[in-house]
Structure 1
Amino acid sequence: MGKLYGELVEPKLSNRSSLRNKMREYQKRLKHSNNSFEKEQLRTKIFNIAKSLNGTKKKDKCLRRYAHEADLRVNMSVSSFVDEATRTNATCVYEDLDMMEFDRGKKSNKRDSMWVRGQLIKKVKSKLDWLGIPHISVDPAYTSKACSKCSNVDDKNRDGKSFVCTVCKHKDDADHNAAVNIELRAFDDEIKAIVDQYTYNPKKRHEALKKLLLKRHRSYMNTPAA
């Protein structure tokens, strides 16, 4: 959805930013100009830009188009996913993403504040419930950073789409490595116990999860190779 937002919304917003910069430039020139004719021209330009910036119709139209396109893509993804789950008679496992626990920068947070945030999971859960397909949500902490083989947690493990563990050198597609971690967590009693214990305290929950992963990593490293 980030790519879609970048295609449909950000260009429009960046254009508004450009207009604001122009208006500031004209205001500075107006302040220092001694030419009455130039001043009148600058005032007209400033007025026209201000009028353009105050109009919200174009912005609203752009956001409505984004919402419509995003909704179509979400529905297509949900249908495809649920059809596959039905065909394979699988239990679906997904991350329980609470966006309020993360701060990923002004632009990302603004994009996530759109209604699309959470729509995918919400619709998947609704359809799975309706069809009676079992599903499990897991805590997302460290699923993308932890090595699915040795449990090493390191920001440097992941580089874009590539995952290479800094310790055991396990190589994988980053998304696949995260998917393996997500699947394993669904049936991990120790992690379930931590989540249940700190359900309403994400900070302590994540600290406990990291401590458990570190313990498992040390155990893995101390286990003689077969």
Structure 2
Amino acid sequence: MHAALVGPLLAALLVTTRARPQPPDGGQCRPPGSQRDLNSFLWTIRRDPPAYLFGTIHVPYTRVWDFIPDNSKAAFQASARVYFELDLTDPYTISALASCQLLPHGENLQDVLPRELYWRLKRHLDYVKLMMPSWMTPAQRGKGLYADYLFNAIAGNWERKRPVWVMLMVNSLTETDVRSRGVPVLDLYLAQQAEKMKKSTGAVERVEEQCHPLNGLNFSQV
């Protein structure tokens, strides 16, 4: 049977033909002696072939790649099938995610937020737009990324979005996050690598399964 990697939520299931060695001391943690001894968060599901649950995180992959132990990377390399939370390489997924963030019935954020909160938000976004050119790196400019384009890519159409999605957007509009734009998050990076390696890829969730719980939050919960 072929190895496979599957990813629900912030995790991925990995099927390989070799079981992960069990610690000889009953599972007690030890200080890592080398990079290979780091806790990989690669969990065994006993079956034939065995399956593994691998946790990922939605941050630029360069922040965490060096901390992913070799056993996890080797398992990914050996996998013939890879399944992620969502298929972030599919244009439909990206389009559906954008659509689900919009307020219904043509409403605008100004219609649903308290007036003072709306204007505080607008002033903050004006500040971010003003500061963004100074936040960007030479490497980003070398790739053809410019401040206006990047701001619109992140915050474009913000007045039409539901409050919960605006909150998530604002949280990502920091100098540190702006400087990392253009670097794929770990999930997307693994999906891109899987495609380059001609692995079979797929998703275990639909966009609606992610959007509906967030869109169901009321204003007091955001």
TM-score by length of 1: 0.21
TM-score by length of 2: 0.22
Q: Which has the higher contact order (CA 8 A, sep 6+)?
A: 2
**Structure (1 or 2) with the larger CA radius of gyration:** 1
Q: Which is helix-richer, 1 or 2?
A: 1
